[in-house]
Copies of this chain bind each other. A is one copy, B any other.
């Protein structure tokens, strides 16, 4: 055998370099050369780990997206164990995804840039679709729980409500990012809270 390296760690290193570039200079500014420089490695090594630029970008996207997914899930879990009202749990977790301050604006820029490419790139679209499916499932589960404890109208269609809520979230993400003057942080927060208030219309009757 010979020299060994941590494949996954290297790929992650490149993915994060891509992310930084997208966040600071925009998607179009991402070149293989710049990415290599940002990651502190050579162009050749990037090629060693990714067969093509497209693969590199796709990996960067899925990496970023999975991290975000995990964070939101963890957020929700933590709030859940603290025994909060489901509506409040979701509001907290989803608010994290809106560009309400500089940090989250950066994250949104990356997310939105890749989302924009999903329109023309089937592989990105598929990855995005998978991730959205996870989020919808999470929301549907939360709504189902809400029914059980009385927060949600028991006749509501969980899947439909979840799909619409995710649409609101993504629409707000875009509007708040591209129109910060019109869609201020408060307006965005209010819009999201308003959507949740329309789904979670009842009082929780559980006691602990």
Q: Which of these, B166, B171, B194, contacts A170 with CB under 8 Å?
A: B171
Query: Which residues of A, 103-126, contact B by the 8 Å Cβ criterion?
Result: 109, 112-113, 115-120, 125
Main SS class of interface, A: helix
Q: Which of A161, A179, A183, A198 has the most CB of B within 10 A?
A: A179
| Cβ of A111 to closest chain B Cβ, rounded Å | 9
Closest to A175 in B: B167
Q: Which of these, B112, B168, B178, contacts A128 with CB under 8 Å?
A: B178
Mask of A146-185 contacts with B, CB within 8 angstroms, 1/0? 0000000000000011011011111110110111011100
Which A residues form the contact surface with B (CB < 8 A)?
26-28, 109, 112-113, 115-120, 125, 128-129, 132-133, 136, 160-161, 163-164, 166-172, 174-175, 177-179, 181-183, 187, 190-191, 194-195, 198
On whether the beta carbons of B132 and A164 are closer than 8 Å, the reply is no
On whether the beta carbons of B113 and A182 are closer than 8 Å, the reply is no
On whether the beta carbons of A129 and B167 are closer than 8 Å, the reply is no
Q: Which of these, B120, B178, B190, contacts A28 with CB under 8 Å?
A: B120
28 A-B pairs, CB-CB below 8 angstroms? A26-B119, A26-B120, A27-B120, A112-B119, A113-B116, A113-B120, A115-B116, A115-B174, A116-B119, A118-B178, A125-B178, A128-B178, A128-B179, A129-B178, A129-B179, A129-B181, A136-B182, A160-B187, A164-B168, A164-B172, A164-B191, A166-B171, A166-B175, A167-B170, A167-B172, A167-B191, A168-B168, A198-B198
